[in-house]
Amino acid sequence: MTQDTLRRISFVHTPNSFLAETQQYGAMFMPVWAYTLAAYVEEPEGYEMRLFDMRFDDVEEVPAADLFVFSGVNQDYESIVATHASLRERHPRATFVIGGPVTWSLNQAGEVSKLEMFDHVLIGDGEESFPRFVKNFSGRARLPKVVENKVRFDVTRARGFYRPFLDATYRRYYGGVLEVSRGCPFLCEFCDIRVLPDNNRAHNFTAGHIVSELDHMARLGIKQVLFAADNFIGDLRWAEEVLDAIIAWQDRTGLRVALYTWLTINVSKHPRLLKKLRLANFDMLFIGVESFSNNSLLETAKVQNTAGDMISALQEIQSYGFAVVAGLIFGFDSDTPEAFDLTLEGMARAGLISGDPSLLTALPGTPLFRRMKLSGRLRNNKNSLGGYKYCTNIRYLMPREEMIRGYRSFVERFCEGRYQFQRLRGFLDNLDRGNYTPLQSEGYGSLAKYVSMVFRSPRAVRMLAERLVQIAVRPSVAWYAARGLLLTLARARRHPRLFGVFQFWLFNWTNAMLKYEGLTDEDFDIESVPEGFDRSLILPEHYADMADEEIPQAKIAAQQRSTVGQLRRLTVMQ
């Protein structure tokens, strides 16, 4: 193929920069979707493939291409639209295509027309549909506007990342990101993982593939890797196989990489797995705690969180040394004004040093979305796809004033030095249960790596300065930070390699102060149900018989039994 006929494909990563910088505090993560899709283009040498990340690259300097490829999550919508408009104006003869989670969500909401500015919209797994699209595009075949693929890609046939992209850009990002599993067997009403086609079960990449990619990253010098998984222990046997393979790789090569992943709280019942997670150098675990109220958990069918004592389960997990990053949600129908204090108490008792609440949002396609729509409780706003902490698309049962007052009271106490020190001490006390296993890596939370990235963004530099000012001008913050350091050093005499815990605790605490400084009622774009709302609509008449998910009917029924049972009790209580 001559240069004159070369097809130019440009992958454009354009995340919401405000959220990336304010929620991730200057840490930037890899555009895994671009590394992945590029690997599936047949005969890549026949194309000029380039990657542009709008967090680093200037849109005005992006050169012409035959095909511009976009992807993103729901929160990126406005940034995607703006970047597309700029590139379209400069390169009007180019073709623009978009895929990813945002296309699936908009399609589920019946709003795929919001992407009408794109020439083609791809919905579903892209490993097979994207290269097929590229082949047809290269052959100038007539292509439909919307291409929906409901067939899940067999991830056991996954290819490694497109190395030219990875090797050229990895230094830009905080460590690495590697997708290892898709799908989750659980049934949370608010979660859109379960409603993707055939996604209510684990789809696992092979252990050999995972170790091969991990090895390549480690040899590049990457020391922190996020294992992207809807639920790493969705298949316990596979999870143990992967851990065994990683441990064997470490022993064989002498390489060590700190790991972080998402999983569910039932890992607390598997001590052998917890031990192996630590031996494989897993440092942090994201767990959807959601609520410390069993009523709220039953409402959303988070049954795995109600199977035992939540506090004890979290203490057991952390006793091995894991920092649990807790997902927390306010706004369930079963929540009362006491939910805010209940959460503060639960976090302190469990010794959670990380966890930041969001407000319940009805994601398109979920049973919660259907229930809110049937009851007339959906509301429209520019962020209706979710992802913004103080802006949601449903009307809450709790009065708006109580919700805001409770949230603001929560964050005020949450940021207090005495409360933060109590949580750190609780975490360190967990280590005395006899399970602590020190990491053999520098840890996922690397202060040096973070600081090196901060100075690439003026906004992140300002936030770092503000973080230091928060400590310097508040005597109580400096006092409790010093006490936290001394306590950590003292405990390190019997539990080595704890300094990373202190760093992570202080990082999260100062993050909270930055995030919540000056929070006012006007920062909340939320509503509650109107006065005189018909309480029978808490459980709409056709909620149970309108489920049409592509998962086993018995599993749909199981979720409905939990949700409907709790909502009926709630309706009676009202």
At the top level of CATH, which class does the domain 3-153 belong to? Answer: alpha beta
As a whole number, the mean pLDDT across the chain is 91
288 has pLDDT over 70: yes
How many beta carbons lie within 10 A of that of residue 91, not counting itself? 17
User: pLDDT: is 477 or 26 the higher one?
Assistant: 477
Query: CA–CA distance from 10 to each of 52, 104, 161, 437, 488 (Å)?
Result: 7, 22, 16, 45, 48
Given a cut of 80, is residue 159 above it in pLDDT? yes
pLDDT(352) > 80: yes
For residue 162, the model assigns a pLDDT of 97
What per-residue confidence (pLDDT) applies to 6? Answer: 57
98 near 124, Cβ under 8 Å? no
225 pLDDT above the threshold of 70: yes
Report pTM: 0.93
Q: And the tokens for 491?
A: 């405990």
Q: How far, in Å, CA of 92 to CA of 477, rounded? A: 54
Segments making up each domain of the chain, as ranges: 3-153, 175-432
pLDDT mean over 193-221: 95
- pLDDT, residue 171, reads 92
Q: Which fold, 175-432?
A: TIM Barrel (3.20.20)
Q: Is the pLDDT confidence value at 509 over 50?
A: yes
Residue that is written with structure tokens 């490993």 in the block:
127
Q: What is the mean pLDDT of residues 142-148?
A: 89
Query: What's the one-letter identity of residue 229?
Result: A
> Closest by alpha carbon to 317, among 351, 293, 291, 348?
351
The answer to whether residue 2 scores a pLDDT higher than 80 is no
Contact present, 222 and 189 (Cβ < 8 Å): no
Give the residue among 498, 325, 355 at the shortest CA–CA distance from 425. 498
Chain segment 50-89, per-residue pLDDT in tens: 999 998 999 999 999 999 999 999 889 999 999 999 999 9
Give the mean model confidence (pLDDT) for residues 310-320: 97
Nearest Cα residue to 567 out of 371, 364, 320 = 371
Distance CA 482, CA 472 (A): 12
pLDDT in tens, 227-253: 999 999 999 999 999 999 999 999 999
Residue 384, pLDDT score:
46
Identify the weakest region by mean pLDDT among 341-345, 449-453, 495-499: 449-453
Structural Rg of the chain based on CA atoms: 24
